[in-house]
Structure 1
Amino acid sequence: MTLAPLARRAAAEFLGTGLLVTVVVGSGIMATRLTTDVGIQMLANSIATALGLSVLILMFGTISGAHFNPAVSLVDWFLGRRRRVGLTGPMLGIYTLAQIAGAIGGAVLANVMFDVPTSLSTTARATPATLIAEVVATFGLVLLIVALARTGRGAAAAPAVGAYIGAAYWFTSSTSFANPAVTIGRLFSDTFAGIGAPSVLPFIAAQLVGAAIAVVAAIALFPHVADAAEEIVIPHADVDPDASAVH
C-alpha cells in the first residue's frame, strides 16, 4: 500500500475545499432568498455547512486526509516535521495553494448557480470580538482534530468536525470561519456568507494564532502527539491509488 500520488491528493484538497465553500456560500444565498429572518438564515447556513463538511471529509479523507484548511495542513506539517511523518514542506505549499484555489472556485461556482455576479464582498467582519472568536473557533477545531488523530479515533472525524463547526456558528460572534482558505474564498461573493477585503488578513491572523495555541495544548495534553501527523484529519497514509474500492 502506498500514499496516493501528490497530484491526486492536491486534486482532492482542491475539490473538497471548493465544494465546502460552495456549500457555505450557496446555502447562504438560498437562505436569504427564502426568508428575511436572520436567525433562520443562520440556522439553514449552519446546518448545510455542518452536513456538507461531514460528507466531504468522508468523500476525500482517505485520499488527502481531508484537510480543506491551510491551518490544519500547517499543523500537520509542524507536528510531523522532526519525525518526517505527515506533510513535507513542499507538500504543505501544494496543499495550501490547492485549498485557496479551490475555495475561490467554490465561491464563483455558488455565484454562478444562483445567478449572482462574482464581486468582492463588502461585508466588514473584523472587530476585536470577532477576532477573538476566530482564535477560539480555530483553537477548538484544530485541538479536536489532533485529539481524534492521536487517540486513534480518526474515523469519527467526519461527524465530529461537522458537529463542531455547526455548533461554532452559534457560539462564536464571527460564525466560525476557522479556515484561511475559506476566508479567502468567501471574499469573492458579496452575499450572506461574504467577508470584506479589509477583514480577510485580520481573520487569517487570528486563525493562525488559534491554531498555534491548539498545538501547544495538544503537545501538553497528548504525549507523542507527533505520531498523529499521518492521521490528520482521518487516516490516509495507507491508500492504494490503484485500488478499485476504498476500505
Structure 2
Amino acid sequence: MATIFTALQDVQARIDTACTAVGRNPAAVKLLAVSKTFPAADIQALYQFGQRAFGENYAQELANKCQILAEYNDIEWHFIGPLQSNKTRLVAENAAWVHTIERFKIAERLSAQRPTHLPPINICLQVNVSGETTKSGVAPEQVLALAEQVAKLPQLCLRGLMCIPESSHDSEILAQQFLVLVQLKAQLQARGYALDTLSMGMSNDLESAIAADSTLVRVGSAIFGQRHYSS
C-alpha cells in the first residue's frame, strides 16, 4: 500500500510542477485515477489517501466495483471507455460522469435509463483530435451538432470535451492536438454552452495537457502500475 501511495504522491507532484510551470493553480486540475482491471482493494487504499475520483472502462466492472464499494458513497465514478448500447443501463445507474460520448444514440439511452432520484450524468463529448481511423471520437467539425443534441437531454449535463491524442513524445504534436479541444470548448462557450471541463492528459502526456489547459487528467499506470488483464 505504501507503494501505491508513493505513486499517487508522485503523480500529484507532477501535476503541481506542470501547473506551476505555466502559471496555473494546481487546484484547477482534477486527478482521475484510472482503476480499470485493478481490484477494489486498490481503490480502497487510494480512498484512504484522499483520492475520490476513479475511472473505469468496462460497464460490468464499473457496476461490480460500485456494489463492492457501496459504503464509500462519496466516490465519484467516471466511465471512460467505449460504450455499447446493450451496456448503457449499467453505466446510467452507476456513473457520475461519462467521458466518451460520440453518438447521440448512446447519450439518448443514458438519459432515458438514468434513475430519476440521481442527479444528471455529467457528459464529455469525445473528439478525435488526431484524425486516426483507429481512434474513437466524433470529428471536430461534428462536435457542435452533437453538443446541440446532447444538451437537450433531461438526465444529462453537458460539461466538456475529452480526447486521446496520438501516441507521441513530440510535445508540439501533442500541443497542436490538445489545442483542437481547447478551441472547440471556446467555440461552444461562445454559443452559450456552460462547459468547464477538458478531459485530456494521461500518464505519459499529462504535462503537455496541463500546459494546454486541461482541467482533468486520467492517470492509470503511473499510479497502479502494469494492468491486470484476465483471460
Q: TM-score, normalised by structure 1?
A: 0.26
Q: TM-score, normalised by structure 2?
A: 0.27
- The structure where helix makes up a greater share of residues is 1
Highest relative contact order (Cα 8 Å, sep 6+), 1 or 2? Answer: 1
- The structure where strand makes up a greater share of residues is 2
